[in-house]
């Protein structure tokens, strides 16, 4: 596979979003990355996270870009996790991510960082670390308020703690 093929496959898998580290792993040089940014083929979304001009900015892009920016150990929680798991119809305006307590990263507009450990309560869904299904329901209900959360969509089926 060539660099361009690797890159195209990655962009397809990740809704047009990639990190600088991923671009370098695909064989791009820092000069190639700078060239794509200068020519507006890519847009800088977060520090070292880019969006291809061939893709639009939607909720999946917002979540994926924030996840890549926050890096390993970050987990999508709350209403954002419920939406990613298709339990809510609409994504929240502000995404919440849990990061390990020792991480030094601040919240930014549209992304709230919460420091807490989530041992064994997360999985990867479509390449994004996300709270387990059962925990996402409880966390979203707490975030949205029980009545407001239930009004947004009827919860169907039963959720066990195991997800």
Confidence class for position 62, pLDDT limits 50, 70, 90: very high
More confident residue, 148 or 100: 100
Query: Which contacts (CB < 8 Å, 24+ apart) does range 112-116 have?
Result: 113/70, 114/77
Residue 163 has pLDDT above 50, yes or no: no
Residue 161 has pLDDT above 90, yes or no: no
- Tell me the per-residue pLDDT of 89-98, one tens digit each, with 9 for 90 and over: 999 999 999 9
Confidence class for position 35, pLDDT limits 50, 70, 90: very high
- Residues 50, 54, 56: CA angle, nearest 5 degrees: 75
- Residues 109, 110, 114: CA angle, nearest 5 degrees: 95
What are the domain boundaries of the chain?
3-52, 59-152
Put simply, whether the predicted model's pTM sits higher than 0.85 gets the answer: no
pLDDT reported for residue 148: 54
CA separation for the pair 10, 22 (Å, rounded): 9
Place of tokens 């900015």: 57
- Bridge-based pairing of strands 75-77 and 95-99 is antiparallel
CA separation for the pair 41, 7 (Å, rounded): 13
Average pLDDT (48-76) is: 94
Residue 21 has pLDDT above 80, yes or no: yes
Q: Which residues are within 8 A (CB) of 96 and not within 5 positions of it... i.e. 6 or more apart? A: 76, 77, 78, 79, 80, 111, 112, 114, 143
CA separation for the pair 104, 100 (Å, rounded): 9
Residue 56 has pLDDT above 70, yes or no: yes
Average pLDDT (149-155) is: 50
Confidence class for position 118, pLDDT limits 50, 70, 90: confident
Average pLDDT (125-153) is: 80
């Amino acid at each position: 596979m060539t660099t361009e093929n690797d890159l195209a496959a990655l962009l397809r898998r990740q809704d047009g979003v990639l990190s600088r580290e991923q671009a370098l792993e695909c064989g791009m040089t820092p000069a190639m990355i700078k060239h794509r940014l200068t020519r507006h083929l890519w847009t800088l979304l977060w520090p070292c996270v880019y969006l291809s001009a061939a893709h639009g900015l939607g909720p999946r892009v917002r979540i994926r870009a924030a996840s890549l920016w926050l890096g390993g150990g970050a987990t999508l929680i709350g209403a954002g996790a419920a939406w990613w798991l298709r339990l809510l119809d609409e994504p929240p305006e502000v995404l919440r991510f849990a990061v390990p307590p020792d991480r030094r990263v601040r919240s930014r507009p549209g992304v709230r960082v919460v420091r807490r450990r989530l041992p064994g309560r997360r999985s990867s869904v479509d390449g994004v670390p996300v709270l387990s299904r059962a925990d996402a329901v409880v966390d979203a209900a707490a975030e949205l308020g029980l009545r407001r959360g239930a009004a947004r969509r009827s919860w169907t089926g039963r959720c066990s703690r195991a997800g």
